[in-house]
Chain A
Amino acid sequence: MEWDWAFAVKIVPALLDGVVITIEATLLGSVVAMAMGMLFAILRRSRNIFVSAPVGLIVDFIRGTPLLVQLYFLFYILPDIGLVLSPLVAGVIGLGLHYGTYTAEVYRAGIDNVPSGQWEAAKAANLTVPQTWCYIILPQAIPPMIPALANYLVSMFKETPLLAAITVLELMNQARSVANFHYRYLEPMTLVGVFFLVISVISVVLLRRLEARFKPEV
């Protein structure tokens, strides 16, 4: 089968529609992941074992099972209990929950790296717990985490094709429908690969700059 440039050029607009959805899902998913990760990390640190143990089990469970199956779970089971989600919303929640368990680890490491003297100083200054978190701990913990968080954002981007399985029309799904319609797979599939490579290369370059900017001062 020969590469057909005319066909390749013709399908680019349809694929770009998919790129938009892919990026949208990645960005929304990472917002959910950042928030869920913070929640997981804080709950897992709880001194109450009835909070920390179940949260720990849930986090390990989500990390140890495939995202695809979790997406099916959200997409097929929630309607049974009366919660109908649009495919994109289900996908964003799935991505966010799954990657939340990864970002939780990043947060945990970041928080552990804040010297214990800071906690003691906050206590000595009679700050409340929320004040300690918001003004003392998180402002010191977050900047060094940023490169690692961005790294997971890039991995999440590479997992968005899974959303095709729950009928979200992202890049991969667009490519498949174009390919099925014209019965030509070479150009759409290769172009999808090229798009992914281009976006990942750009994001890796950005990542390096982030790493340089937030390099922990020794």
Chain B
Amino acid sequence: MAEWSGYLELILQGALVTLQLTFLGMVVALIMAFAGGLGRLSRQWWVRWLATGYIEFFRGTSVFVQLFWAYFVLPLLGFPLSPLQAGVLALGLNVGAYGAEVVRGAIQSVPKEQYEACTALNLTSWQRMRHVILPQAFVLMLPTFGNNAIELLKGTAVVSLISLSDMTFQAQIVRAQTGETAMPFLTILVLYFAISTVISTAIRGLERHLSRGLDGTRS
């Protein structure tokens, strides 16, 4: 049993890497989701075109292909990336592409009268977005963002394949060293489930917090 606690420590070290990847990936994904989603609604045709290209490319190809491409091919083109950088980049850009569609959908579902009211109040387009449209649209985005965040967490397991020592990688090491299979894998399954439960609970709490006072605006 004493031995096992040492292995557990190894797995927990991996859990830290998994959390780090999830967090950094979420930051990249959030930025890209807003850039892509707002870009698709832009009035400039070339911005729309660029955003659509980004979204369709990253949604159309598999995240694993993107990860392997970032890790094996980008260095050959002169952009050497560490496994962590490749992982954050591939996961963030991939999940961001899915998030961009959520951002676009949520913004488009804000009723037209809200825009007209902003024009009537003489708000600039920045003020309109910042104070009127986004606060209402953001609440609509949250549930899907929560699902996306869990997809991202689940996606991080794949970076173990490019030798980044996340939770899955560490479990494989424990398996290789002890020959024990059930223990390491069950442990990490439970840990992954715990993290995803925390994420979904946090998002639900945030949703409740942000939708306070918005009840009257939605029909």
Most interface-central of B65, B69, B72, B73 (chain A CB within 10 A)? B65
Residues of A within 8 A of B193 (CB): 60-61, 64-65
Contact B68 A189 (CB under 8 A): yes
| Cα–Cα distance between A80 and B184 once the two chains are bound (Å) | 14
Q: Does B84 contact A (CB under 8 A)?
A: no
For window 140-199 of A, CB contacts with B under 8 Å fall at: 158-162, 164-165, 172, 176, 179, 185-186, 189-190, 192-193, 196-197
Shortest Cβ distance from residue B73 to the other chain A in the assembled complex, whole angstroms: 5
Contact B60 A201 (CB under 8 A): yes
Q: Does A67 contact B (CB under 8 A)?
A: yes
Residues of B within 8 A of A7 (CB): none
| Cα–Cα distance between A172 and B64 once the two chains are bound (Å) | 9
| Cα–Cα distance between A66 and B156 once the two chains are bound (Å) | 8
Contact A200 B61 (CB under 8 A): yes
**Contact for A65 among B57, B60, B154, B158, CB less than 8 A:** B154
Contacting chain B: which of A27-35, A71-79, A120-128? A71-79
Q: Does A1 contact B (CB under 8 A)?
A: yes
Contact B76 A185 (CB under 8 A): yes
**Known contacts A1-B76, A69-B171, A179-B72; A77 and B181 CB within 8 A of each other:** yes
| Cα–Cα distance between A200 and B189 once the two chains are bound (Å) | 30
Interface of chain A: mostly helix, strand, loop or mixed:
helix
Contact A72 B172 (CB under 8 A): yes
Interface of chain B: mostly helix, strand, loop or mixed:
helix
Contact count band on B: 35 or more
Contact A197 B192 (CB under 8 A): no
Residues of B within 8 A of A73 (CB): 185-186, 189
Binary contact readout B2-38 vs A (1 if CB under 8 angstroms, 0 otherwise):
0000000000000000000000000000000000000
| Cα–Cα distance between A159 and B65 once the two chains are bound (Å) | 10
Most interface-central of B57, B63, B64, B181 (chain A CB within 10 A)? B64
Shortest Cβ distance from residue A184 to the other chain B in the assembled complex, whole angstroms: 9
| Cα–Cα distance between A36 and B82 once the two chains are bound (Å) | 39
Residues of B within 8 A of A65 (CB): 154, 189, 192-193, 196
Shortest Cβ distance from residue B165 to the other chain A in the assembled complex, whole angstroms: 15
Residues of A within 8 A of B64 (CB): 159, 161-162, 172
Contact A77 B63 (CB under 8 A): no
**Known contacts A172-B68, A189-B73, A193-B69; A66 and B192 CB within 8 A of each other:** yes
Binary contact readout A1-42 vs B (1 if CB under 8 angstroms, 0 otherwise):
100000000000000000000000000000000000000000
**Known contacts A1-B76, A80-B181, A185-B73; A69 and B189 CB within 8 A of each other:** yes
Shortest Cβ distance from residue A100 to the other chain B in the assembled complex, whole angstroms: 16
**Contact for A185 among B66, B72, B192, CB less than 8 A:** B72
Q: Does A136 contact B (CB under 8 A)?
A: no
Q: Does B99 contact A (CB under 8 A)?
A: no
Q: Does B182 contact A (CB under 8 A)?
A: yes
Contact B157 A190 (CB under 8 A): no
Contact A64 B196 (CB under 8 A): yes
Residues of A within 8 A of B189 (CB): 61, 65, 69-70, 73
Contact A197 B60 (CB under 8 A): yes
Shortest Cβ distance from residue B77 to the other chain A in the assembled complex, whole angstroms: 7
Contact A189 B197 (CB under 8 A): no
| Cα–Cα distance between A65 and B197 once the two chains are bound (Å) | 10
Closest chain A residue, CB of each to CB of B189: A65
Residues of B within 8 A of A158 (CB): 61-63
Question: With A162-B64, A176-B68 given, can you name 10 additional A-B contacts, CB distance below 8 Å?
Answer: A61-B189, A68-B160, A69-B157, A69-B185, A73-B185, A189-B69, A189-B73, A196-B61, A196-B65, A197-B57
A interface with B by C-beta (< 8 Å): 1, 60-61, 63-70, 72-73, 76-77, 80, 158-162, 164-165, 172, 176, 179, 185-186, 189-190, 192-193, 196-197, 200-201, 204
